[in-house]
Structure 1
Protein backbone atom coordinates (compact mmCIF):
# COMPACT_ATOMS: atom_id res chain seq x y z
CA UNK A 1 0.00 0.00 0.00
CA UNK A 2 2.71 2.56 0.87
CA UNK A 3 4.48 1.75 -2.42
CA UNK A 4 1.27 2.28 -4.42
CA UNK A 5 0.69 5.55 -2.60
CA UNK A 6 4.22 6.74 -3.42
CA UNK A 7 3.82 5.83 -7.07
CA UNK A 8 0.47 7.58 -7.26
CA UNK A 9 1.90 10.68 -5.55
CA UNK A 10 4.90 10.70 -7.87
CA UNK A 11 2.63 10.54 -10.90
CA UNK A 12 0.44 13.30 -9.45
CA UNK A 13 3.49 15.49 -8.77
CA UNK A 14 4.78 14.83 -12.28
CA UNK A 15 1.45 15.93 -13.78
CA UNK A 16 1.26 19.05 -11.59
CA UNK A 17 4.77 20.08 -12.60
CA UNK A 18 3.98 19.48 -16.26
CA UNK A 19 0.86 21.65 -15.97
CA UNK A 20 2.86 24.36 -14.20
CA UNK A 21 5.34 24.39 -17.07
CA UNK A 22 2.58 24.59 -19.67
CA UNK A 23 0.82 27.45 -17.91
CA UNK A 24 4.08 29.40 -17.57
CA UNK A 25 4.88 28.75 -21.24
CA UNK A 26 1.47 29.87 -22.49
CA UNK A 27 1.65 33.05 -20.41
CA UNK A 28 5.04 33.90 -21.89
CA UNK A 29 3.91 33.03 -25.40
CA UNK A 30 0.94 35.39 -24.99
CA UNK A 31 3.22 38.15 -23.70
CA UNK A 32 6.12 37.93 -26.14
CA UNK A 33 5.42 35.28 -28.77
CA UNK A 34 6.63 31.73 -29.20
CA UNK A 35 10.00 32.12 -30.93
CA UNK A 36 11.43 34.73 -28.51
CA UNK A 37 10.51 32.63 -25.43
CA UNK A 38 13.48 30.62 -24.12
CA UNK A 39 13.60 27.57 -21.88
CA UNK A 40 15.38 29.80 -19.36
CA UNK A 41 12.41 32.24 -19.39
CA UNK A 42 9.96 29.37 -18.87
CA UNK A 43 11.93 27.75 -16.05
CA UNK A 44 12.15 31.10 -14.26
CA UNK A 45 8.41 31.82 -14.69
CA UNK A 46 7.50 28.30 -13.50
CA UNK A 47 9.92 28.48 -10.57
CA UNK A 48 11.78 25.36 -11.70
CA UNK A 49 15.26 24.38 -12.81
CA UNK A 50 15.92 23.98 -16.52
CA UNK A 51 16.84 20.34 -15.96
CA UNK A 52 13.28 19.69 -14.71
CA UNK A 53 11.90 21.46 -17.77
CA UNK A 54 13.97 19.30 -20.12
CA UNK A 55 12.88 16.12 -18.35
CA UNK A 56 9.26 16.96 -19.13
CA UNK A 57 9.85 18.48 -22.58
CA UNK A 58 13.15 17.50 -24.21
CA UNK A 59 12.65 19.80 -27.21
CA UNK A 60 10.94 23.06 -28.05
CA UNK A 61 8.72 21.15 -30.49
CA UNK A 62 7.50 18.87 -27.68
CA UNK A 63 6.65 21.87 -25.52
CA UNK A 64 4.91 23.85 -28.28
CA UNK A 65 2.89 20.77 -29.30
CA UNK A 66 1.73 20.22 -25.70
CA UNK A 67 0.76 23.90 -25.40
CA UNK A 68 -1.07 23.58 -28.71
CA UNK A 69 -3.34 20.93 -27.20
CA UNK A 70 -4.33 23.32 -24.40
CA UNK A 71 -4.79 26.24 -26.77
CA UNK A 72 -6.91 24.09 -29.11
CA UNK A 73 -9.29 23.31 -26.25
CA UNK A 74 -9.53 26.96 -25.22
CA UNK A 75 -9.98 28.39 -28.72
CA UNK A 76 -12.33 25.69 -30.05
CA UNK A 77 -11.35 26.15 -33.70
CA UNK A 78 -13.55 24.96 -36.56
CA UNK A 79 -12.98 21.34 -37.54
CA UNK A 80 -13.99 19.22 -40.51
CA UNK A 81 -15.72 16.78 -38.15
CA UNK A 82 -17.97 19.47 -36.69
CA UNK A 83 -18.68 21.42 -39.87
CA UNK A 84 -21.88 19.66 -41.01
CA UNK A 85 -23.60 20.12 -37.63
CA UNK A 86 -23.01 23.89 -37.69
CA UNK A 87 -25.16 24.34 -40.81
CA UNK A 88 -27.82 21.75 -39.99
CA UNK A 89 -31.34 23.01 -40.67
CA UNK A 90 -30.19 25.98 -42.74
CA UNK A 91 -31.50 25.59 -46.28
CA UNK A 92 -30.67 28.75 -48.21
CA UNK A 93 -27.10 29.55 -49.21
CA UNK A 94 -27.45 33.10 -47.81
CA UNK A 95 -28.43 31.72 -44.40
CA UNK A 96 -25.52 29.32 -44.50
CA UNK A 97 -23.08 32.05 -45.49
CA UNK A 98 -24.33 34.27 -42.68
CA UNK A 99 -23.76 31.41 -40.26
CA UNK A 100 -20.29 30.83 -41.72
CA UNK A 101 -19.28 34.45 -41.19
CA UNK A 102 -20.72 34.46 -37.66
CA UNK A 103 -18.89 31.27 -36.64
CA UNK A 104 -15.51 32.17 -38.09
CA UNK A 105 -15.67 35.73 -36.79
CA UNK A 106 -16.45 34.47 -33.28
CA UNK A 107 -13.54 32.02 -33.48
CA UNK A 108 -11.09 34.69 -34.64
CA UNK A 109 -12.22 36.99 -31.85
CA UNK A 110 -11.56 34.22 -29.30
CA UNK A 111 -8.14 33.40 -30.64
CA UNK A 112 -6.92 36.65 -32.24
CA UNK A 113 -3.82 37.16 -30.08
CA UNK A 114 -2.62 33.57 -30.30
CA UNK A 115 -3.37 33.27 -34.01
CA UNK A 116 -1.44 36.48 -34.66
CA UNK A 117 1.58 35.33 -32.65
CA UNK A 118 1.53 31.84 -34.16
CA UNK A 119 1.34 33.32 -37.66
CA UNK A 120 4.30 35.56 -36.94
CA UNK A 121 6.48 32.60 -35.91
CA UNK A 122 5.07 29.78 -38.07
CA UNK A 123 8.07 29.74 -40.43
CA UNK A 124 10.44 29.35 -37.47
CA UNK A 125 8.65 26.62 -35.52
CA UNK A 126 7.18 23.60 -37.38
CA UNK A 127 4.68 22.83 -34.59
CA UNK A 128 3.09 26.26 -35.12
CA UNK A 129 2.80 25.69 -38.85
CA UNK A 130 1.12 22.35 -38.15
CA UNK A 131 -1.31 24.03 -35.72
CA UNK A 132 -2.21 26.78 -38.19
CA UNK A 133 -2.62 24.32 -41.06
CA UNK A 134 -5.16 22.46 -38.92
CA UNK A 135 -7.00 25.73 -38.22
CA UNK A 136 -7.00 26.65 -41.91
CA UNK A 137 -8.27 23.20 -42.86
CA UNK A 138 -11.15 23.66 -40.41
CA UNK A 139 -12.05 27.04 -41.93
CA UNK A 140 -11.94 25.46 -45.39
CA UNK A 141 -14.26 22.67 -44.23
CA UNK A 142 -16.76 25.23 -42.92
CA UNK A 143 -16.69 27.04 -46.28
CA UNK A 144 -17.32 23.77 -48.13
CA UNK A 145 -20.26 22.92 -45.88
CA UNK A 146 -21.74 26.41 -46.10
CA UNK A 147 -21.73 26.27 -49.90
CA UNK A 148 -22.50 22.56 -50.27
CA UNK A 149 -26.10 23.03 -51.53
CA UNK A 150 -24.85 25.24 -54.39
CA UNK A 151 -22.20 22.68 -55.45
CA UNK A 152 -19.71 25.41 -56.39
CA UNK A 153 -16.54 24.78 -58.41
CA UNK A 154 -13.22 24.46 -56.61
CA UNK A 155 -12.15 27.98 -57.60
CA UNK A 156 -15.17 29.49 -55.83
CA UNK A 157 -14.37 27.56 -52.66
CA UNK A 158 -10.77 28.78 -52.82
CA UNK A 159 -11.86 32.41 -53.23
CA UNK A 160 -14.33 32.27 -50.33
CA UNK A 161 -11.79 30.47 -48.13
CA UNK A 162 -9.27 33.24 -48.88
CA UNK A 163 -11.82 35.87 -47.81
CA UNK A 164 -12.42 33.94 -44.59
CA UNK A 165 -8.71 33.74 -43.74
CA UNK A 166 -7.33 35.20 -40.52
CA UNK A 167 -5.09 37.81 -42.26
CA UNK A 168 -8.13 39.21 -44.10
CA UNK A 169 -10.11 39.26 -40.84
CA UNK A 170 -7.23 41.13 -39.19
CA UNK A 171 -7.20 43.76 -41.93
CA UNK A 172 -10.94 44.29 -41.54
CA UNK A 173 -10.30 44.79 -37.83
CA UNK A 174 -8.19 47.82 -38.69
CA UNK A 175 -11.19 49.49 -40.34
CA UNK A 176 -12.67 50.20 -36.89
CA UNK A 177 -16.06 48.75 -37.78
CA UNK A 178 -18.48 47.43 -35.22
CA UNK A 179 -18.72 43.64 -34.98
CA UNK A 180 -22.07 43.70 -36.80
CA UNK A 181 -20.81 45.96 -39.60
CA UNK A 182 -17.67 43.87 -40.03
CA UNK A 183 -19.74 40.72 -40.42
CA UNK A 184 -22.10 42.43 -42.88
CA UNK A 185 -19.17 43.62 -44.98
CA UNK A 186 -17.60 40.17 -45.02
CA UNK A 187 -20.89 38.57 -46.03
CA UNK A 188 -21.42 41.06 -48.89
CA UNK A 189 -17.89 40.58 -50.15
CA UNK A 190 -18.34 36.79 -50.15
CA UNK A 191 -21.60 37.09 -52.06
CA UNK A 192 -19.90 39.34 -54.64
CA UNK A 193 -16.89 37.03 -54.81
CA UNK A 194 -19.06 34.01 -55.50
CA UNK A 195 -20.63 35.76 -58.48
CA UNK A 196 -17.24 37.04 -59.67
CA UNK A 197 -15.55 33.64 -59.27
CA UNK A 198 -18.12 32.07 -61.57
CA UNK A 199 -16.60 34.04 -64.45
CA UNK A 200 -12.98 33.07 -63.74
Structure 2
Protein backbone atom coordinates (compact mmCIF):
# COMPACT_ATOMS: atom_id res chain seq x y z
CA UNK A 1 0.00 0.00 0.00
CA UNK A 2 2.79 2.45 0.88
CA UNK A 3 4.52 1.87 -2.48
CA UNK A 4 1.29 2.71 -4.32
CA UNK A 5 0.86 5.92 -2.32
CA UNK A 6 4.42 7.02 -3.09
CA UNK A 7 3.90 6.32 -6.78
CA UNK A 8 0.62 8.25 -6.82
CA UNK A 9 2.25 11.17 -5.00
CA UNK A 10 5.16 11.23 -7.45
CA UNK A 11 2.72 11.22 -10.38
CA UNK A 12 0.74 14.06 -8.84
CA UNK A 13 3.94 16.07 -8.32
CA UNK A 14 4.97 15.46 -11.95
CA UNK A 15 1.54 16.57 -13.22
CA UNK A 16 1.65 19.71 -11.07
CA UNK A 17 5.15 20.54 -12.29
CA UNK A 18 4.08 20.09 -15.92
CA UNK A 19 0.95 22.21 -15.39
CA UNK A 20 3.04 25.01 -13.89
CA UNK A 21 5.48 24.86 -16.82
CA UNK A 22 2.61 24.84 -19.33
CA UNK A 23 0.78 27.85 -17.90
CA UNK A 24 4.04 29.74 -17.44
CA UNK A 25 4.91 29.11 -21.08
CA UNK A 26 1.48 30.41 -22.11
CA UNK A 27 1.97 33.54 -19.98
CA UNK A 28 5.44 34.12 -21.43
CA UNK A 29 3.98 33.93 -24.92
CA UNK A 30 1.08 36.25 -24.04
CA UNK A 31 2.86 38.80 -21.83
CA UNK A 32 6.56 38.09 -21.89
CA UNK A 33 8.85 36.88 -19.14
CA UNK A 34 9.29 40.36 -17.68
CA UNK A 35 5.54 40.75 -17.16
CA UNK A 36 4.73 37.29 -15.79
CA UNK A 37 4.28 37.04 -12.01
CA UNK A 38 4.39 34.02 -9.75
CA UNK A 39 0.94 35.02 -8.48
CA UNK A 40 -0.48 34.81 -12.01
CA UNK A 41 1.28 31.49 -12.66
CA UNK A 42 -0.19 30.06 -9.43
CA UNK A 43 -3.68 31.36 -10.23
CA UNK A 44 -3.70 29.87 -13.73
CA UNK A 45 -2.18 26.58 -12.61
CA UNK A 46 -4.68 26.27 -9.76
CA UNK A 47 -1.98 26.07 -7.10
CA UNK A 48 -0.53 28.32 -4.42
CA UNK A 49 2.50 30.54 -4.87
CA UNK A 50 4.33 28.30 -2.40
CA UNK A 51 3.63 25.29 -4.63
CA UNK A 52 5.18 27.13 -7.58
CA UNK A 53 8.28 27.88 -5.48
CA UNK A 54 8.41 24.30 -4.18
CA UNK A 55 8.66 23.05 -7.77
CA UNK A 56 10.79 25.89 -9.16
CA UNK A 57 12.85 27.88 -6.68
CA UNK A 58 13.47 30.68 -9.16
CA UNK A 59 13.22 31.71 -12.80
CA UNK A 60 16.49 29.99 -13.74
CA UNK A 61 14.85 26.66 -12.73
CA UNK A 62 11.53 27.46 -14.39
CA UNK A 63 12.88 28.53 -17.81
CA UNK A 64 14.26 25.09 -18.81
CA UNK A 65 10.93 23.44 -17.95
CA UNK A 66 9.07 26.04 -20.02
CA UNK A 67 11.51 25.62 -22.90
CA UNK A 68 11.08 21.83 -22.85
CA UNK A 69 7.29 22.25 -22.98
CA UNK A 70 7.52 24.79 -25.82
CA UNK A 71 10.06 22.68 -27.74
CA UNK A 72 7.64 19.75 -27.80
CA UNK A 73 5.10 22.01 -29.50
CA UNK A 74 7.54 23.92 -31.74
CA UNK A 75 10.69 21.84 -32.29
CA UNK A 76 13.85 23.57 -33.45
CA UNK A 77 14.34 22.96 -37.18
CA UNK A 78 16.55 20.09 -38.24
CA UNK A 79 19.30 21.66 -40.31
CA UNK A 80 21.01 18.38 -41.24
CA UNK A 81 19.50 18.25 -44.75
CA UNK A 82 20.44 21.86 -45.41
CA UNK A 83 24.00 21.32 -44.19
CA UNK A 84 24.39 18.14 -46.26
CA UNK A 85 24.13 20.08 -49.52
CA UNK A 86 27.41 20.54 -51.37
CA UNK A 87 26.69 24.03 -52.72
CA UNK A 88 27.34 26.59 -49.93
CA UNK A 89 24.74 29.03 -51.27
CA UNK A 90 22.10 26.30 -51.37
CA UNK A 91 23.04 25.38 -47.80
CA UNK A 92 22.47 28.97 -46.66
CA UNK A 93 19.19 29.25 -48.57
CA UNK A 94 17.83 25.97 -47.22
CA UNK A 95 18.89 26.78 -43.63
CA UNK A 96 17.33 30.24 -43.83
CA UNK A 97 14.11 28.83 -45.28
CA UNK A 98 13.82 26.38 -42.39
CA UNK A 99 14.76 28.99 -39.78
CA UNK A 100 12.46 31.68 -41.12
CA UNK A 101 9.51 29.24 -41.19
CA UNK A 102 10.24 28.42 -37.54
CA UNK A 103 10.49 32.12 -36.67
CA UNK A 104 7.07 32.68 -38.22
CA UNK A 105 5.61 29.84 -36.14
CA UNK A 106 7.25 31.04 -32.93
CA UNK A 107 7.10 34.81 -33.45
CA UNK A 108 4.67 35.53 -30.58
CA UNK A 109 7.03 33.84 -28.14
CA UNK A 110 10.42 34.83 -29.53
CA UNK A 111 9.43 38.44 -30.06
CA UNK A 112 8.76 38.72 -26.34
CA UNK A 113 11.74 36.61 -25.25
CA UNK A 114 14.26 38.55 -27.31
CA UNK A 115 12.73 41.85 -26.18
CA UNK A 116 12.77 40.86 -22.50
CA UNK A 117 16.29 39.46 -22.39
CA UNK A 118 17.84 42.88 -21.79
CA UNK A 119 15.80 43.35 -18.60
CA UNK A 120 15.74 39.77 -17.29
CA UNK A 121 19.26 38.45 -16.59
CA UNK A 122 18.12 34.84 -16.06
CA UNK A 123 16.45 34.88 -19.47
CA UNK A 124 19.50 36.39 -21.11
CA UNK A 125 21.72 33.64 -19.65
CA UNK A 126 19.24 30.97 -20.72
CA UNK A 127 19.05 32.30 -24.28
CA UNK A 128 22.85 32.55 -24.47
CA UNK A 129 23.15 28.88 -23.52
CA UNK A 130 20.41 27.73 -25.88
CA UNK A 131 19.18 29.60 -28.96
CA UNK A 132 22.31 31.75 -29.19
CA UNK A 133 24.43 28.60 -29.15
CA UNK A 134 22.27 26.93 -31.83
CA UNK A 135 22.64 29.99 -34.07
CA UNK A 136 26.41 30.24 -33.41
CA UNK A 137 26.87 26.58 -34.35
CA UNK A 138 24.74 27.02 -37.46
CA UNK A 139 26.78 30.09 -38.40
CA UNK A 140 30.02 28.10 -38.06
CA UNK A 141 28.63 25.27 -40.19
CA UNK A 142 27.41 27.62 -42.92
CA UNK A 143 30.61 29.69 -43.02
CA UNK A 144 32.76 26.54 -43.18
CA UNK A 145 31.03 25.59 -46.43
CA UNK A 146 32.48 28.63 -48.19
CA UNK A 147 36.12 27.77 -47.43
CA UNK A 148 37.18 31.38 -46.90
CA UNK A 149 39.76 32.58 -44.42
CA UNK A 150 40.90 35.67 -42.56
CA UNK A 151 39.08 38.93 -43.09
CA UNK A 152 36.74 37.43 -45.68
CA UNK A 153 35.70 34.75 -43.20
CA UNK A 154 35.09 37.37 -40.52
CA UNK A 155 32.93 39.42 -42.87
CA UNK A 156 31.04 36.34 -43.99
CA UNK A 157 30.48 35.23 -40.38
CA UNK A 158 29.04 38.65 -39.48
CA UNK A 159 26.76 38.63 -42.50
CA UNK A 160 25.53 35.09 -41.83
CA UNK A 161 24.81 36.02 -38.19
CA UNK A 162 22.75 38.98 -39.39
CA UNK A 163 20.87 36.72 -41.83
CA UNK A 164 20.10 34.21 -39.05
CA UNK A 165 18.94 36.84 -36.56
CA UNK A 166 15.27 36.88 -35.53
CA UNK A 167 15.12 40.67 -35.83
CA UNK A 168 16.41 40.53 -39.42
CA UNK A 169 13.66 38.09 -40.33
CA UNK A 170 11.07 40.22 -38.56
CA UNK A 171 12.20 43.44 -40.28
CA UNK A 172 12.13 41.81 -43.71
CA UNK A 173 8.67 40.34 -43.19
CA UNK A 174 7.40 43.65 -41.81
CA UNK A 175 8.63 45.21 -45.04
CA UNK A 176 6.25 42.86 -46.86
CA UNK A 177 8.55 39.98 -47.81
CA UNK A 178 7.27 36.44 -47.41
CA UNK A 179 9.66 34.00 -45.76
CA UNK A 180 10.89 32.57 -49.07
CA UNK A 181 11.68 36.03 -50.47
CA UNK A 182 13.41 37.04 -47.24
CA UNK A 183 15.54 33.87 -47.39
CA UNK A 184 16.37 34.53 -51.05
CA UNK A 185 17.36 38.14 -50.32
CA UNK A 186 19.62 37.23 -47.40
CA UNK A 187 21.18 34.36 -49.38
CA UNK A 188 21.99 36.85 -52.15
CA UNK A 189 23.47 39.23 -49.57
CA UNK A 190 25.67 36.46 -48.17
CA UNK A 191 26.85 35.53 -51.68
CA UNK A 192 27.59 39.18 -52.50
CA UNK A 193 29.39 39.60 -49.20
CA UNK A 194 32.10 37.12 -50.09
CA UNK A 195 32.60 38.45 -53.62
TM-score by length of 2: 0.87
CA distance in 1, matches of 2:59, 2:138: 32
Higher mean alpha-carbon deviation, 151-160 vs 166-175, is at 151-160
Matches within 5 A, 1:92-103: 92-103=87-98
Q: Secondary structure at the match of 2:10?
A: helix
1:85 to partner: Cα distance: 5.6
Higher mean alpha-carbon deviation, 66-75 vs 108-117, is at 66-75
CA distance in 1, matches of 2:168, 2:96: 12
TM-score by length of 1: 0.85
Matches within 5 A, 1:1-200: 2-77=1-76, 86-88=82-84, 90-133=85-128, 134-152=130-148, 153-195=153-195
RMSD value, Cα: 2.0
Q: Is the 8 A contact 1:83 1:145 kept in 2?
A: no
Distance 1:146 1:104, change over 3 A: same
Distance 1:170 1:136, change over 3 A: same
Pairs aligned (count): 190
Deviations 1:58-83 (A, max 9, x none): 223222232123224433336xxx75
1:49 to partner: Cα distance: 1.4
Q: Is the 8 A contact 2:59 2:122 kept in 1?
A: no
